[in-house]
Structure 1
Amino acid sequence: MDVAVVAAILTVSGVLAISIISKVRTRAGFEAFADAITGLRVSSARWSRPMAVAAIAAETVVLALVVWPAGAPVGLAAAVLLFGTFTVVLARAVRLGSTSGCHCFGPTSAPVAWRHVMRSGFLATASLAGLLGMIALPSVSLGSLDPPLILAAASAAGVAVVVLVWLDDLTWLLRGATPAR
């Protein structure tokens, strides 16, 4: 169970780090994310940039808490709320027929779809599982694992992060869906 908890922490932190970097790395990445907030019918164009800044700030705070050993339980609880909110927003956008991309990991031409909702739901669930694991095993941390178990947790998290971040590209590759970038 220790390995699963650490893998959940590494997955959540890896996805958040890539998400934040992709949105702030270039002005175009930030603008695309801000425009997506309007396209997903989250807010009007007037409020899209402040909401984009707030979303990125929330992701940054959650990431900082998750990677800080003493803050990991609070960070995972916050991650459940953050990814839960993303799940609801994306599900609403899909249900309303939005053709905008989510721009969760940078500019994309792929419209928001149920796979994006499932990705956010998976991340909320992984965060909850990590939180429950930390409650059950309060001493669990990356430092509490033996090297082979650290490798196992990091490998599982690495695969999960790759699949989650490049979901659109993998969908295109495997099913021939619209390429993401």
Structure 2
Amino acid sequence: MTFVVSAFQGLLAVVFLASAVSKLRSGRALRVFATSLTTMRLVNRSRATFVATTLAVAEGCVAVLLAVPLSHRAGFAAAVALLAVLTVGVAVALTRGDRAPCRCFGASPVPLSGRHLMRNLLLLAVALTGLALPASSSALTGWLVAFLAGGLGGVIVTLLDDLIELFVPFPTP
């Protein structure tokens, strides 16, 4: 159990970093994300850029907080708050029947679906568990190995839509 918190830090840090970078890497990427928020009717057009920028910057901040061992508690708490907001957004969009592409990690053509909601709920459970468990008191090398192992899990989470598409291709219109 000693390394679970460290692994969860790595997993969530990679997920939030990938999400933030995918949105902030260019003005076009941020506009595409902002447009997806209006397409899903989560925000109006006049606030979309502000909300998109705020979410992306918050994701980057969460990644940094989680990557620094001394601030991991604040990172988990921020991750819980941000994942709650994102999960509610996905649930609202799905309840309305919106099938806009998920822009969680960039310009994916995969429409929003129940698997995105399930992914967010699982990430929320990881963040809550990381917040509830006591911090690892292991040596730096043990922490680093667990953090990197969790980071590998984060890479898999960020590529999940692509991995699923390898086995179940998304029909193109």
**Aligned match of 1:114:** 114
The letter of the residue matching 2:149 is S
TM-score (norm 2): 0.89
Distance 1:74 1:156 in 2: 18
Any idea what the Cα deviations from partners look like across 1:116-139, whole Å, max 9, x if unmatched?
Answer: 111111111111111112xxx34x
The total of aligned residue pairs comes to 172
Any idea what the Cα deviations from partners look like across 1:83-117, whole Å, max 9, x if unmatched?
Answer: 12111110111121112122111112111111111
**Aligned match of 2:156:** 163
Which has the bigger relative contact order, CA under 8 A and spacing at least 6? Answer: 2
Is there any run of 5+ residues in structure 1 with no aligned partner, and where? none
- Check if 1:26 corresponds to 2:15: no
Alpha carbon RMSD of aligned pairs, Å?
A: 2.0
Identity %: 30
1:2 alignment partner, SS class: coil
**Aligned match of 2:92:** 92
The letter of the residue matching 1:125 is A
**Aligned match of 2:145:** 151
2:122 alignment partner, SS class: helix
The letter of the residue matching 1:57 is V
The letter of the residue matching 1:24 is L
The letter of the residue matching 2:45 is A
1:109 alignment partner, SS class: coil
- Check if 1:58 corresponds to 2:58: yes
1:111 alignment partner, SS class: coil
Following TM superposition, where does structure 1 have runs of at least 4 consecutive aligned residues deviating by more than 6 angstroms? Answer: none
Pairs within 5 Å for 1:31-46: 31-46=31-46
**Aligned match of 2:130:** 130
